[in-house]
Amino acid sequence: MRLTVFGSGDAFSGCGCNAAYGIDSSVLVDCGAPVPAMSRRAAFDLRTLRLVLVTHFHADHTFMLPIVLGAVAVTAELERPDLTIAGPSGIREYVLRLVGDGYGSHMQELIAERVSPRFVTLQDGSDEQLQGYRVRAHSVVHSLGPSLAYAISDTGGATVGFSGDSTLCPGLHRAINGCDLFVCECTGWDGPVPGGHMWRDEVASLVATYPATTFVLSHLAERRTLPGALIAHDLLSLDVVAGDRA
């Protein structure tokens, strides 16, 4: 399994693009970064995109979705892609509204005709087989609900997790448990952060609690270091093997 970071910055920093991550060339987790532009630099072919997972509905995690879906639509004239979009309750209505607000009814119709994505609603405890991956969803506490963390496994058992935006909460711990690698937000460095986010000391406690899991810190206001963790940057790419833990 290969993880590609398209966006490592928080909502308003100049540290990196907004949140978006690729798995292999099939899965996109969140879509705040300009994925069509970044994907070309990362050799991530949107024509092979099969699954989009959304953690929550904040702008810095979702507002580039109309551009991604439009890019898929305009390259899908000859063969309709098999695309699934999954996320919290309301995912279908939210995505369709984004497309309509961004590009109007013409693009909604084009995406419906050429892509016709399947929408799947996930909630706390969901354990689904989606496009060849096992996806487990865990409810986490953030300023906007519902919000989900994910653990995603390939057929070989390699597992990558994503916190989305979260506080320290039981759902976050459930998501981390068993992951080979976990992409964890670390919005603050010097103290607690308002709005349902984590900061350095909280993340350090997770790193200490799960020594078998490699932590990649993202959603950064600035790029510093934390012992025992990797610090994400845009276009970082990592290969993950089942049981290959720090």
Lowest mean pLDDT among 152-161, 180-189, 235-244: 235-244
Q: How far apart are CA 118 and CA 100, in angstroms?
A: 17
Q: Is 76 a residue whose pLDDT tops 60?
A: yes
Q: Cα–Cα distances in Å, from 76 out to 58, 82, 83, 85?
A: 28, 10, 11, 17
Distance CA 122, CA 104 (A): 27
Residue 140: which CATH number? 3.60.15.10
Asked whether the predicted pLDDT for residue 14 surpasses 90, the reply is: no
Joined tokens for residue 208? 């200490």
Q: What is the mean pLDDT of the chain?
A: 95
Enclosing domain of residue 68: 2-237
* Residue 244, domain member (yes or no): no
Q: By the 8 A CB rule, do 197 and 167 touch?
A: yes
Residue 134, in any domain of the structure = yes
Query: Is 242 within the bounds of a domain?
Result: no
Total domains, the chain: 1
Q: Which residue has the tokens 């991530």?
A: 44
Of 226 and 47, the one with more pLDDT: 226
Kindly state whether residue 36 falls inside one of the protein's structural domains. yes
Check residue 244 and give its pLDDT.
Answer: 64
**Exposed/middle/buried for 59, CB within 10 Å: 0-12, 13-18, 19+?**
exposed
Written as six digits, the tokens of 46 are 């949107």
Q: How confident is the model at residue 158 (pLDDT cuts 50, 70, 90)?
A: very high
What pTM was estimated for this model as a whole? 0.96
User: Residue 243 falls within a domain, yes or no?
Assistant: no
Question: What is the end-to-end Cα distance of the chain in Å, rounded?
Answer: 16
Q: What is the 3-state secondary structure (H, E, C) of the chain?
A: CEEEEEECECCCCCCCCCCEEEECCCEEEEECCCHHHHHHHCCCCHHHCCEEECCCCCHHHHCCHHHHHHHHHHCCCCCCCCCEEEECCCHHHHHHHHHHHHHCHHHHHHHHHHCCCEEEECCCCCEEEECCEEEEEEEECCCCCCEEEEEEECCCCCEEEECCCCCCCHHHHHHHCCCCEEEEECCECCCCCCCCCCEHHHHHHHHHHCCCCEEEEECECCCCCCCCEEECCCCCEEECCCCCCC
Residue 46: inside a domain, yes or no? Answer: yes
pLDDT at 78 over 80: no
